[in-house]
Amino acid sequence: MSGVKASVLRQLCIDHGRQFLRFDYRDHGLSSPDPQASIGAWRDDSLFLIDHLTTGDLILVGSSMGGWLMMLLALIRPARIKGLIGLAAAPDFTERLIRPSLSLSQKRALDKTGITHIQSPYSQTPYQITSLLLADSQAHLVLSSNKLQALSQPLLLFHGTADSVVPWRLSYEVLERTTNLNNCLTLLNDGDHRLSGPEHIDIWLSGVKRLCQIPSNPCL
């Protein structure tokens, strides 16, 4: 929650007098390690926080895994969630990206200990993957079902063409499976997975302003 994107969003909300909530998922950032972390647990934690710490209409901004979770939340709280911004969204990443990439030794580790690790270009410490995470995710998949057709909120997706972690075609598939004609996908030339460069922030932040009805130029 101390990353560049969350900090930029916080400042935007301060500047325009909007509520803002950010948090680290369990087993992430400042939150405590938790071997029981899973898509379902992160969804339930997120739901608890927005139910108890926010009021009024919400615009959700989800990056990578957060893009998956925001879709699940929008399906549960359609009356409160009025718009979605996906930054390199990674719905169903456990099935679409992780499981097919596991080596034989990683699969053996999962079978034997329930834990394996994968490398990330953005962290010196490998990410821990558990059998629980992979099994639990089966109940929350959105691309292999018709769930996304129920998303009525405007959905703006932004994805870098140079994303080596989550391919931009995943965002395109999300767009294809929604029915709101106002939904759109913006491809950012040479953008990586983080979309934290100033030139990329300006582009997706304009989408946030549009859904929040914040003028791009407050002087006009």
Domain map (residue ranges) of the chain: 4-91+145-212
Q: Is 177 exposed, middle or buried (0-12, 13-18, 19+ CB in 10 A)?
A: middle
pTM exceeds 0.85 for this model: yes
User: What is the three-class DSSP state of 197?
Assistant: coil
User: Quick one: pLDDT at residue 220?
Assistant: 31
Distance from C-alpha of 158 to C-alpha of 168, rounded to nearest angstrom:
9
Give the contacts of 90 (CB within 8 A, at least 6 positions apart).
Answer: 64, 65, 67, 68, 97, 165, 166, 170
As a whole number of angstroms, the distance between CA 88 and CA 93 comes to 11
**What average pLDDT does the segment 6-32 reach?**
92
Q: CATH second-level architecture of 4-91+145-212?
A: 3-Layer(aba) Sandwich (3.40)
Q: Is the pLDDT of residue 158 over 70?
A: yes
Among 191, 146, 6, 153, CA closest to 70: 153
pLDDT range class, residue 124, cuts 50, 70, 90: confident
Residue 206: phi and psi, rounded to 5, are -65, -35
For residue 84, which amino acid is it? L
Q: How far apart are CA 214 and CA 82, in angstroms?
A: 15
Residue 178 has pLDDT above 80, yes or no: yes
Cα–Cα distance, 137 to 63 (Å, whole number): 18
Whether the predicted pLDDT of 219 surpasses 70:
no
Instruction: Please give the pLDDT value at position 217.
Output: 54
Least confident of 75-79, 96-100, 143-147, 172-176: 143-147
Question: In this predicted structure, what is the pLDDT of residue 68?
Answer: 98
- Distance from chain centroid for Cα 74: 12
Across the chain, what does the average pLDDT equal?
Answer: 94
Work out the percent of the chain whose per-residue pLDDT is above 90.
85
- What is the percent of the chain where pLDDT is above 70? 98
CA distance 191 to 167: 11
- How far is C-alpha 80 from the geometric centre of its chain's CA atoms? 18
**pLDDT value, residue 184:** 97
The SS3 call for residue 127 is strand
pLDDT tens digits, one per residue of 203-213: 999 999 999 99
Mean pLDDT value across residues 9-25: 96
Burial of 72 (0-12, 13-18, 19+ CB in 10 A): buried
Return the pLDDT at 121: 85
Q: Which residues pair with 186 in a beta bridge?
A: 158
Residue where the block lists tokens 């460069």: 197
Cα-based distances in Å from 34 to 41, 45, 133: 10, 13, 11
* Nearest to 187, CA basis, from 198, 172, 202: 172
- pLDDT digits 0-9 by tens, 62-116: 999 999 999 999 999 999 999 999 999 999 999 999 999 999 999 999 999 999 9
